[in-house]
Copies of this chain bind each other. A is one copy, B any other.
């Protein structure tokens, strides 16, 4: 039973996924492809000393984890890591994130979710429109998650390319070109 000591905690895996995205964003920045940042977790500092925070509170988030600019367009996305091998629970995307995506799309931003099935070793690019379709189905009494097979059918897998560790902008290109076609 020693094995479990080597097993990474889900939070650690989520962190590892974020690290891959951060390194991708740095590749995009250095290659002058795009300018994309992780939004800091909002913490209200109550007591500080120099650059140290002695006391603070986590504040309510109002947006999503990543934002940036690419080909003149604003983009927002959320990165989700799941341990499941069969489905992604819709509850993993919070209400404030959905609200932000809805408002941002209305103003012309590109919105999507990167979903990693860690045990499968796959990362999908899920446009916000796809997430919304699945949420609508759930609201109408359908399943409360998105099956792995549905991702395979409807969402592209994000590949490693020469320019980036997870080159998700390939699919943003397709959306931009689809819009203008």
Contact = CB atoms under 8 A, between A and B. Distances in A.
A74 to B, nearest CB: 4
A181 to B, nearest CB: 17
Interface in A1-48: 29, 32, 34-35, 37, 39-43, 45, 48
Nearest to A53: B56
Interface residues on A, range: 35 or more
B51 A58 contact: yes
Copies of this chain assembled into the complex: 2
Contacts of A35: 100, 103-104, 107, 109
Interface in A33-87: 34-35, 37, 39-43, 45, 48, 51-59, 62-63, 67-74
Contacts of A72: 73-74, 107-109
Contacts of A34: 107
Nearest to A52: B57
A169 to B, nearest CB: 12
B108 A71 contact: yes
Contacts of A54: 55
Contacts of A106: 32
Given A51-B58, A69-B108, A69-B109, A41 B45 contact: yes
A52 B45 CA distance: 10
A56 B56 contact: yes
A175 to B, nearest CB: 13
A71 B67 CA distance: 17
Contact of A56 (B52, B70, B104): B52
Interface of A: 29, 32, 34-35, 37, 39-43, 45, 48, 51-59, 62-63, 67-74, 100, 103-104, 106-109
